[in-house]
């Protein structure tokens, strides 16, 4: 989630000094004394009206969708100037950035991978803009730098977006992301020499790679090169699956699968450990339902054959044993199960259930030898069980606490695997699992400059508007008093089958250490309780998500964790939509709102980049039966002139090609026009950044110094 907050007990005095003493909520005495009312840049309004199935809808800020125009660039510069002046006037901002920098300065590792005789893992010493990929002969051997993305750009905005070693560990394919874009350029490096090969594979998006076991090349999905000037806004359709042979130019890559009759289909490749089969997950849109194709790699001219068709459920490939393929699926099991089927038999009657559905949600399964390791969610908290090859339970992995667990990757004949564990007060620690015994030992545990023993995490449950029980995970200092006086940050997402589980951020921990309360609501639309939980927050049921969030906020107020003037709401991407919808429906419930890289125009989102894929989640304005529902909550279309909205800081980035920044531009302009009181309505537009992944550490620190300064200034 990568939330970051202001920090530690040294802020307590500063927070007290910033408490308002006048009639204007949200401005400190220092701000009121020194600054005149905010003067926003004038944003022109055009006479643009669209007809949606007989409904006339104005779109006066349509011109801001052209994010590459000179006129939009001038608007961005003017808005950033106003925002920067405001943020720089906050007395605690500079001190806050120093504190953030100190707290971010701790070591971070990812899970080691062993290929051949070499271990690969990334490490960040704390303040490096990008983590460095290392190689080593053993887990404790002296490591050597293999790829340092910090050397690729002066400002740290070229990120290492993927790294996949060949089976023998002699080569590594690595992906670069430029300035936050979703586009990936893949290159190859000789692990022993550290030199790059000539191979370059471009215009890859929404696809990983899958090596052939012999290291002769890899499979990948790509799109056609976009038209000049539309790299960050053009629609992404007609993905094709290719095989790249080492040493060949990309123009010679072998086409494996394309479906021009279905331009919205995409393909994700996997190769079985024994190299016998290419397993292709075929997706369309953002809904997790998939089809599966297979290709017998023992026969070079073997066709790609459909194995599972109909897009009726999720199917995630796990492993193979000979001709038997294992998949995690929610077919006939809303909370998922593990099934086995034969690679040459598409008859569903022949499927065999290996691990049955339970009351918990099955997240993932890995196979080592003849033991399955299964990861589950129980009320958004992780657990891991072991099962024999026939699915019989053989025990549970003892975890270091209540939180999120991930990992258990590696080849089926591995002698070891690794997992990471984290929660809101525990930095990600890496554990080694010895196979086949299952013995667990700690490999790396970072140290942070916080006494997390002073924190407590509790899970609450509130009732939504329709009576549905919604969990809220709250983390706070043990000494905090539940008397309504606490600054509280509520975070939500609620969509795309994504589960929001506990994870550590130095900023979030410091928000708590500084006396704030941090609450995460597990809203419908996510994956925390399986397929039905997701579907109850989709399309015509999307309002359930907003009702859940409102219920969580009201519950925190009712139970005296906070009060509306001291409550902030934050969300990113689909969570940015959540914030925009909730603040327009209940502006009285929050003192401040932080919509980040949000989907704000629900009538036109599908016209840019991969936005069309979200129609399975939201519905689109092209569908007459969806238009009234979209208009009922679309943040851009529900701002009412003269309404007093909470203090709002919209954040986005100029190179976001997932949720294009035009969403945030239009919403911010409309909010400034509609605002009926003196609460600030600002937009912060980051440069050389995208949707979030790969953002340099220095930019993240800058952003959250600004964001939390804004909250301090505007929460009573």
For the annotated catalytic residues, the residue numbers are 573, 691
Q: Partners of 233 in the beta sheet?
A: none
Distances, alpha carbon 198 to alpha carbons 175, 187, 213, 245, in Å: 14, 8, 21, 12
Q: Helix, strand or coil for residue 645?
A: coil
Nearest residue to 435 via CA among 417, 410, 419, 409: 417
Tokens 């958004």 sit on residue: 380
Cβ 121 vs Cβ 141: under 8 Å: no
- How far, in whole angstroms, is CA 70 from its chain's centroid? 31
Q: What is the DSSP string of 48-106?
A: -EEEETTEEEE-TTGGGG-TTSHHHHHHHHHHHHHHHHHHHT-TTHHHHHHHHHHHH-S
Other beta carbons less than 10 A from residue 145's beta carbon? 12
Strand 517-521 to 469-477 pairing? antiparallel
Coarse DSSP helix, strand, coil percentages of the chain, rounded to the nearest 5 percent: 25, 35, 45
Tokens 């006129």 sit on residue: 71
Cβ 457 vs Cβ 475: under 8 Å: yes
Question: Dmax of the chain from CA atoms?
Answer: 78
What phi and psi values does residue 670 have, to the nearest 5 degrees?
-70, -35
- Give me the torsion for CA of 534, 537, 538, 543, rounded to 10°: 180
CA distance 119 to 165: 10
Cβ 305 vs Cβ 314: under 8 Å: no
CA distance 294 to 301: 13
- Give me the torsion for CA of 119, 125, 129, 132, rounded to 10°: -20
Residue 661 neighbours by CB under 8 Å, 6+ apart? 67, 597, 652, 653, 654, 685
Please count the CA atoms within 13 angstroms of the CA of 546 that sit on its side-chain side: 23
Give me the count of residues in the chain. Answer: 716
Q: Helix, strand or coil for residue 635?
A: helix
The packing angle between helices 506-513 and 93-104, to 10°, is 120
Question: With left for phi above 0 and alpha for psi between -120 and 50, is residue 715 left, alpha or beta?
Answer: beta
At 325, which helix (H) or strand (E)?
strand 324-329
Nearest residue to 175 via CA among 184, 164, 166: 184
Distances, alpha carbon 73 to alpha carbons 43, 48, 599, 661, in Å: 12, 21, 21, 12
């Amino acid at each position: 989630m990568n939330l970051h907050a202001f920090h530690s007990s040294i802020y307590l005095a500063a927070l007290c000094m910033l408490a308002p003493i006048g009639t204007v909520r949200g401005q400190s005495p220092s701000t009121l004394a020194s600054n005149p009312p905010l003067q926003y840049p004038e944003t022109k309004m055009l006479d643009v009206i669209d007809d949606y199935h007989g409904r006339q809808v104005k779109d006066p800020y349509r011109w801001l969708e052209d994010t590459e125009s000179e006129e939009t660039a001038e608007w961005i510069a003017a808005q950033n100037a106003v925002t920067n002046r405001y943020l720089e006037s906050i007395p605690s901002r500079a001190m806050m950035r120093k504190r953030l920098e100190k707290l971010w300065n701790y070591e971070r590792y990812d899970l080691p991978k062993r290929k051949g005789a070499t271990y690969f893992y990334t490490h960040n010493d704390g303040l490096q803009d990008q983590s460095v990929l290392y190689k080593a002969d053993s887990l404790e051997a002296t490591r050597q730098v293999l790829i340092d993305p910090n050397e690729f750009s002066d400002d740290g905005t070229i990120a290492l977006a993927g790294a996949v070693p060949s089976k023998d560990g002699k080569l590594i394919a690595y992906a670069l992301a430029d300035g936050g874009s979703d586009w990936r350029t893949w290159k190859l490096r000789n692990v022993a020499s550290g030199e790059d090969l000539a191979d370059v594979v471009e215009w890859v998006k929404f696809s990983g790679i899958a090596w052939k076991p012999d290291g002769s090349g890899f499979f990948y999905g790509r799109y056609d090169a976009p038209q000049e000037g539309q790299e960050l806004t053009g629609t992404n359709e007609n993905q094709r699956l290719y095989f790249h042979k080492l040493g060949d130019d990309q123009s010679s890559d072998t086409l494996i699968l394309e479906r021009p009759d279905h331009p919205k289909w995409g393909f994700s490749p996997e190769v079985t450990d024994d190299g016998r089969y290419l397993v292709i997950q075929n997706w369309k849109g953002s809904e997790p339902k998939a089809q599966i194709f297979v290709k017998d790699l023992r026969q070079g001219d073997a066709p790609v054959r459909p194995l599972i068709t109909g897009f009726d459920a999720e199917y995630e490939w796990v492993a193979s044993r000979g001709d038997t393929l294992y998949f995690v699926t929610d077919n006939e099991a809303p909370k998922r199960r593990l099934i086995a089927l034969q690679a040459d038999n598409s008859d569903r009657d022949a499927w065999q259930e290996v691990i049955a559905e339970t009351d918990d949600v099955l997240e993932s399964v890995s196979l080592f030898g003849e033991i399955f390791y299964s990861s589950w969610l129980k009320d958004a908290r992780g657990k891991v069980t072991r099962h024999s090859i026939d699915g019989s339970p053989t025990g549970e992995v003892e975890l270091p606490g209540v939180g999120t667990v991930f990992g258990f990757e590696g080849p089926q004949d591995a002698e070891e695997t690794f997992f990471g564990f984290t929660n809101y007060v525990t930095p990600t620690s890496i554990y080694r699992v010895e196979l086949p015994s299952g013995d667990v030992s700690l490999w790396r545990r970072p140290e942070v400059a916080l006494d997390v023993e002073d924190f407590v995490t509790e899970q609450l449950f509130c009732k939504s508007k329709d009576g549905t029980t919604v969990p809220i995970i709250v983390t706070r200092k043990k000494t905090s008093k539940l008397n309504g006086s606490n600054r509280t940050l509520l975070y939500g997402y609620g969509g795309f089958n994504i589960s929001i589980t506990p994870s550590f951020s130095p900023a979030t921990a410091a928000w708590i250490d500084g006396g704030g309360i941090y609450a995460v609501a597990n809203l419908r639309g996510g994956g925390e309780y399986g397929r039905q939980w997701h579907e109850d927050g989709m399309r015509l049921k999307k309002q359930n998500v907003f009702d859940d969030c409102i219920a969580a906020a009201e519950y925190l107020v009712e139970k005296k964790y906070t009060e509306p003037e001291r409550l902030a709401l934050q969300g990113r991407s689909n969570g940015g939509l959540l914030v925009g919808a909730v603040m327009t429906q209940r502006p009285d419930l929050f003192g401040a709102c932080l919509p980040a890289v949000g989907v704000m125009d629900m009538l036109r989102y599908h016209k840019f980049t991969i936005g069309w894929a979200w129609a399975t989640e939201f519905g689109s304005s092209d569908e007459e039966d969806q238009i009234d529902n979209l208009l009922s909550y679309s943040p851009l279309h529900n701002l009412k002139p003269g309404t007093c909205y909470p203090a709002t800081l919209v954040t986005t980035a100029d190179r976001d090609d997932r949720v294009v920044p035009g969403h945030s531009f239009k919403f911010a302009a409309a909010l400034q026009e509609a605002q009926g009181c003196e609460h600030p309505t600002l937009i912060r537009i980051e440069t050389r950044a995208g949707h979030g992944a790969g953002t340099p550490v220095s930019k993240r620190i800058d952003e959250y110094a600004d964001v939390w300064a804004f909250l301090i200034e505007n929460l009573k």
